[in-house]
Amino acid sequence: MYIILVYDVAPKRGAKVLKYLRQHLIWVQNSVFEGEITESRFEEVLHGLKEIINKEKDSIIFYTFDSKNYYARGIIGIEKNETDSFI
Amino acid sequence: MYIILVYDVAPKRGAKVLKYLRQHLIWVQNSVFEGEITESRFEEVLHGLKEIINKEKDSIIFYTFDSKNYYARGIIGIEKNETDSFI
């Protein structure tokens, strides 16, 4: 399945979340990741995130799709991540 | 159509982008918005954003869907925006 994940985490935990997510998904922008991942693998990622964040203060929202075909992706300004091709 | 929009904008323009987007979409978290909007209205929103951002430095990415039915939305931690119901 395909994931878009956004996080809003206090700075002291932000660096750890960023580092962790870089191992599993593709960094897109600021606190946004995308990626193709299996459901079971993603369950593991969520489990790992729960270990890092403060569930009373931080927020991680994820949108899951069966396929990238379900959405169109657009951009204005620059692509912050120029090392990966998304389109 | 339905939109998820994320932005990565220099702080001096961030407040203006935030204020502008609040008029058109629903604030979700940090620099993330969602919302149901017509295609023509969204074209206008993009036009407005282009007036605010620096296209050489800032980045706004948007995902458009025909319907919210195309994705599942999940959260861990807290819902930062408790005034609107998304689910």
Q: Do A30 and B29 touch (CB under 8 A)?
A: no
pLDDT of A84: 57
Q: Considering all CA atoms of chain A, what is the largest pairwise distance in Å, rounded to the nearest integer?
A: 36
List the structure tokens of B13: 């323009």
Q: How far apart are the first and last CA of chain B?
A: 17
Domains in chain B (CATH in brackets) are: 2-65 (3.30.70.240)
Residue numbers in B near A49 (CB within 8 A)? 76
Could you list the pLDDT tens digit for every one of the 87 residues in chain A?
999 999 999 999 999 999 999 999 999 998 999 999 999 999 999 999 999 999 999 999 999 998 888 889 999 999 988 765 554
pLDDT of B80: 87
Ranges of residues in chain B with a pLDDT under 50 are 87
Q: Do B28 and A61 touch (CB under 8 A)?
A: yes
Give me the interface pTM, i.e. the ipTM.
Answer: 0.87
pLDDT of A83: 66
Residue numbers in A near B8 (CB within 8 A)? 29-30, 32, 80
B41-65 tens-digit pLDDT = 999 999 999 999 999 999 999 999 9
DSSP per-residue letters across chain A: -EEEEEEE--HHHHHHHHHHHHTTSEEEETTEEEEE--HHHHHHHHHHHHHHS-TTT-EEEEEEES-GGG-EEEEEE--S--SS---
Q: Which of A45, A41, A38 is nearest to A5 (CA)?
A: A45
Partners of residue B2 on adjacent β-strands: B36, B65
DSSP annotation of A70 reads G
pLDDT of A13: 96
| Identity of residue B64 | T
